[in-house]
Amino acid sequence: MALTAAIVLAAGEGTRMRSSTPKVLHEFAGRTFLQRVMTSVGQLGPQTLAVVVHYQAERVAQAARSYDAGVCIVDQDDIPGTGRAVQCAMQQLQQDAPLEGPVLIAASDMPLLDTETLNQLLDFHHNSGNAATVLTTILDDPTGYGRIIRDSQGDVLGIVEQKDANSNELAVREVNTSVYVFDAAVLSAAIANLDSNNAQHEFYLTDALKAAKAHGRVGAFAAPDPLSVEGVNDRVQLSRLAKAYNHRIAEAWMREGVTVLDPDTTWIEDTVMIGQDAVILPGSFLKGNTVIGAQAQIGPYTTLIDARVGEGAVVERSRVQESHIGAHATIGPWTYLRPGNELGEGSKAGAYVEMKKAHIGNGTKVPHLSYVGDATLGEHTNIGGGTITANYDGVNKHHTTIGSNAHVGAGNLFVAPVTVGDGVTTGAGSVVRHDVPADALVYSENTEHVVEHWQPKSGQ
């Protein structure tokens, strides 16, 4: 069904979040509420996608444009209410000519609102010949939500907000999700005479449904999955919804052949991909566009952000960001891989190793207590503990290159820029400042001085 326009309501402050960040810019599983709703709505292919802003308007507008450069930003004035937000949007969208066809309206505080549910709503609206249709759900505890009041035929008489409802209306469990489809002409007429004669003294969009009944049938479509339309008003609700959704993600991966030992302490964002027979241990956070190969083992207590982990690799008690770990490599414990690393097959970055923009060849090992930054290490090289590539001279970063089959002694310092050839052996405690040819031995002579029978002088 062709969609003329979609209006996403993002003007509210969200005071119950108690935050300096607008509610719609809070994150849920790696993406903001607004980004998630805009993505789901955008996949419907509306001719125009509008986002209504007011609180921290420029900040929200900037975020919306980053999600969709073609979005139409609508500024709501100081008159409060969702009804007023839609009035402002329709006024701007119809500056040149009246809209014709269906208009979707969605709140932006439902991070799990999905395109499939919205498509079902649009199809129901079209097939029922409704003038307006509201998306609803049925809750065991409907506290805080507007109640759907139906007539004997099942049509919607109206929506009563919690603060305006009587005892009979409060007993209703079917609630408004703040998602609607209107015929454009019906919507224009229905919002024309809204008022603020209610407990909140706001222009309610829900009152437009009553007005729409003068133009045709007002129906309701119940979302098949209540989780997909659950709103977030405070951090308690955010936590509960995030946990419920994370359990779904973990369960889905387990059914695909991934072992998630403890879903209660394992967090997996919905953009992550995991291969069959991978094992995810407790305390792991898998974020962004992370890809984990088959039979890899992650955790415990590991964070992966936009990381790629090869088949059979092990990453234990480590943080890895924007790095590629080759098949059967071993990372950790307590390893920090900053962005830009490429670790080859069978390589190792061991305990208390930090890497940044390092290219590590197949089979090369950096076992412990080392920093490798802006460096290229060949294949089957061994780096002794306590080694540092000194890549920064206070102004610029410089590169270190160490060849294949090299053996670097403990406590070495490579002062970049420097190149060390294949097959080189370095002595313990060496400071390498100059290039070293292949198959050479290099060491620094540090004279040891011993002063016998020496004690520090006592203070006066």
Distance CA 233, CA 251 (A): 26
Residue 119 assigned as binding residue? no
3-state secondary structure of 237: helix
Q: Is 131 annotated as a binding residue?
A: no
Decide if 368 is catalytic. Answer: yes
Q: Is 403 annotated for ligand binding? A: no
11 is in an annotated binding site: yes
333 Cβ contact list (under 8 Å, min separation 6): 316, 317, 318, 351
| Residue 23 marked ligand-binding | yes
Q: Which two tokens stand for residue 11?
A: 């003007």
280: left (phi over 0), alpha (psi -120 to 50) or beta: beta
* CA angle, residues 168, 174, 180, in degrees to nearest 5: 125
> Is 382 labelled a binding residue?
yes
386 is in an annotated binding site: no
Are the beta carbons of 287 and 306 closer than 8 angstroms? Answer: yes
φ, ψ for residue 38, nearest 5 deg: -60, -40
Is 301 annotated among the ligand-binding residues?
no
Known binding residue 76? Answer is yes
Is 176 annotated in a binding site? The answer is yes
Six-digit token pair at 183? 């015929």
Helix axes 33-42, 57-67, angle to 10 degrees: 50
Is 233 annotated to bind ligand? yes
Closest CA to 349 of 331, 361, 333: 331
Task: Establish whether 307 is an annotated binding residue.
Answer: no
- Any binding-site annotation on 391? yes
Q: Which of 414, 423, 418 is nearest to 441 (CA)?
A: 423
CA of residue 161 relative to chain centroid, distance: 32
Catalytic residue among 54, 368, 399, 434: 368
Q: Which residues are catalytic?
A: 368
Residues of each annotated binding site for UDP-N-acetyl-alpha-D-glucosamine: 9-12, 23, 76, 81-82, 146, 161, 176, 233, 338, 356, 371, 382
**Which residue ranges make up the annotated binding site for Mg(2+)?**
109, 233
> Which residue numbers belong to the known binding site?
9-12, 23, 76, 81-82, 109, 146, 161, 176, 233, 338, 356, 371, 382, 391-392, 428
Q: Which residues are documented as binding site for acetyl-CoA?
A: 391-392, 428
